[in-house]
Amino acid sequence: QVHLVESGGGSVQTGGSLRLSCATSGYSSKPRAMGWFRQAPGKERERVAIIYFSDLSTLYAESVKGRFTISQDNAENAVHLQMNKLRIEDTAMYYCATSGVYAAYTSTDFDYWGQGTQVTVSS
């Protein structure tokens, strides 16, 4: 059974940094991509970053480009999201997810999801 477990969330002041991790287990074959999504209260879930394992290419939401970095850790079967220069508008529940779809892009392309980790940024 596939499991994804996020960690690393917390509270931080604007301009601060957090590193989220998503540990995976239970896969019979490696997914094609992993992504981070977030959802703030009253808002729709939005894509934050995706990493494609075929060539390790990455994709970022415009709002996080230059501040967030997604990376994989093969040794830990994990994917990380380094978040720097955090803003109040980054406050949300962050979810990691995996996809077996080629060129996964939208949340519907992702089939396994973690429970989420809360990120709160305050002034």
Tens-digit pLDDT profile for residues 32-53: 999 999 999 999 999 999 999 9
Measured in whole angstroms, how far is the alpha carbon of residue 88 from the centre of its chain? 18
**Residue ranges of the chain with pLDDT lower than 70?**
76
Q: Are 79 and 22 in contact (CB under 8 A)?
A: yes
State residue 29's pLDDT score.
Answer: 85
Residue 117's contacts (CB-CB under 8 Å, 6 or more residues apart) are: 6, 7, 8, 9, 20, 93, 94
